């Protein structure tokens, strides 16, 4: 996560995916749906603020 990818995108871009696999990347809502509609999954979201503080959230049955 180096700030090289602009995440201010259209719905179509979020649907299809964008970015660089080696830096910052959004897989795409359509692809995420295809992967997660086959069963029950857990989603963990990790966040880091500008001062380096880390937080995470876990969602069961994603």
The reply to whether the predicted model has a pTM over 0.75 is no
Distance CA 2, CA 15 (A): 22
At residue 61, the pLDDT reads: 83
Does position 1 have pLDDT exceeding 80, yes or no? no
Distance CA 56, CA 18 (A): 23
Using the structure block, give the residue that is written with the tokens 């692809």: 31
3-53 tens-digit pLDDT: 889 899 999 999 999 999 888 999 999 999 998 898 988 999 999 999 999
3-class state of residue 15 by DSSP: helix
Residue 25 contacts residue 19 (beta carbons within 8 Å):
yes
């Amino acid at each position: 996560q180096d700030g090289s990818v602009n995440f201010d995108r259209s719905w179509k871009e979020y649907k299809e995916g964008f970015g660089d696999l080696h830096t910052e990347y959004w897989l795409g809502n359509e692809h995420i749906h295809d992967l997660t509609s086959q069963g029950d999954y857990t989603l963990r979201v990790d966040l880091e603020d500008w001062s380096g503080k880390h937080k995470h959230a876990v969602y069961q049955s994603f």
